Amino acid sequence: MLNTTNNNLKFIDFCAGIGGGRIGLENSGMQCVGFSEINKDAEKTYRLFFGEKEKNHGDLMQINPKNLPDFDLMIAGFPCQTFSVIGQRKGMCDKRGQIIFGLVKIMKAKNLKYFILENVKGLLNHDNGQSLKVILDTLDKAGYKVFWKLISSLHYGVPQMRERIYFVGIRKDLIKDDKDFEFPEVVETPELKNYLIDDGKLELSEKKRTYETFLKYLDNKYNKNKFTINKLLKEDFLIIDTRQSDLRLYRGRVPTLRVGRHGILYIRDGKFKKLSGYESLLLQGFPKKLSNKAKNKIQNTHLLGQAGNAMTVNVVEAFGKNLINFLNKK
């Protein structure tokens, strides 16, 4: 039997990635008692952050729940490529779309009290809303009252536009019918320039091929005559997102960081810079101390991808705190 109060809830970090969700929940006062992750590179960064001792329970579809320690809450940003607007939208038919059923199996076996799940916005209208409906029905049948909302990280303490669906589940016997979980209140967006602080050499040097490619890109049929290099270079902290064809500019915020989109540039001190893995971690709310550790040990391209996959720390922290407050009010 677990002997926890609402103020020291124990959780397991499923689909852990590099632990954005974990840091958020730890910041809210909860304690992590294990994780599950199948990607070796993500595990390397995770261990750099949290140490070598903890057990990785591995593929969650293969876990025997009896081998898991007792825990109160599950956190999982379950794989989203299948639902993502950019992914191929295979949804529930794809193997990765089945992860939710693996998670539910563990919830049931452990008679779990609470969960926080996260997925991409594309899930909302995937298969005309059928995939979301199946997920909500499955969680309902498993015995949970589920509250969900599409929110943007931009409103929870980082200057990144990142829309994600968050699900909070409370076992039905632990919540009165007339009570609803209250989603965290929005907070002011902090200043972007405080996140664009990498001192590494990621300038687009005029000699490098990437710079030439960028110049060609500015001159393609979509962008020709729209932008002049000198004008762009005058605006410090202007964000330049190089999409497949067109170029988009952002001020005071960055677009969603994603795996595979390594093309975000910005202007600093009159020069083009590439957004680095370190800066991407900061834009996902990872603390400077951990981000610095990663910067010195993990390849920049890996960090860019891993940060793009992560949950925003601040968002999960806000959810964790609200859940604890809600449980204490009951």
Ligand X SMILES: C[S@@+](CC[C@H](N)C(=O)[O-])C[C@H]1O[C@@H](n2cnc3c(N)ncnc32)[C@H](O)[C@@H]1O
Which residue ranges make up the site for ligand X (CB under 6 A)?
A: 15-21, 36-39, 42, 59-61, 77, 79-80, 99, 309-311
Counting every residue written for the chain, the total comes to: 330
Which lies closer to ligand X via its Cβ, residue 247 or residue 313?
A: 313
Which lies closer to ligand X via its Cβ, residue 79 or residue 184?
A: 79
Which lies closer to ligand X via its Cβ, residue 6 or residue 300?
A: 300
CB of residue 229 to ligand X, shortest distance in Å? 36
Edge-to-edge order in the sheet of strand 239-242: 247-250, 239-242, 264-268, 271-274
Q: How far is CA 11 from CA 30, 36, 139, in A?
A: 7, 12, 18
Q: How far is CA 187 from CA 117, 138, 145, in A?
A: 21, 33, 26
Nearest position to ligand X, beta carbon: 17
| Dihedral sign from CA coordinates of 155, 159, 163, 165 | negative
CB of residue 166 to ligand X, shortest distance in Å? 12
Closest CA to 242 of 218, 221, 258: 218
Between strands 239-242 and 163-171, the pairing is: unpaired
Which lies closer to ligand X via its Cβ, residue 18 or residue 151?
A: 18
CB of residue 81 to ligand X, shortest distance in Å? 8
CB of residue 307 to ligand X, shortest distance in Å? 8
CA–CA distance, 161 with 163 (Å, rounded to integer): 6
CB of residue 49 to ligand X, shortest distance in Å? 10
CA–CA distance, 265 with 66 (Å, rounded to integer): 48
Alpha-helical regions (H) of 71-147 = 99-109, 130-141
Which lies closer to ligand X via its Cβ, residue 23 or residue 265?
A: 23
CA–CA distance, 201 with 63 (Å, rounded to integer): 43
Which lies closer to ligand X via its Cβ, residue 74 or residue 240?
A: 74
Q: Which residues are catalytic?
A: 80
Q: Which residue has the tokens 């009165």?
A: 176
CB of residue 31 to ligand X, shortest distance in Å? 17
CA–CA distance, 292 with 70 (Å, rounded to integer): 33
CA–CA distance, 23 with 3 (Å, rounded to integer): 22
Q: Which amino acid is at 4?
A: T
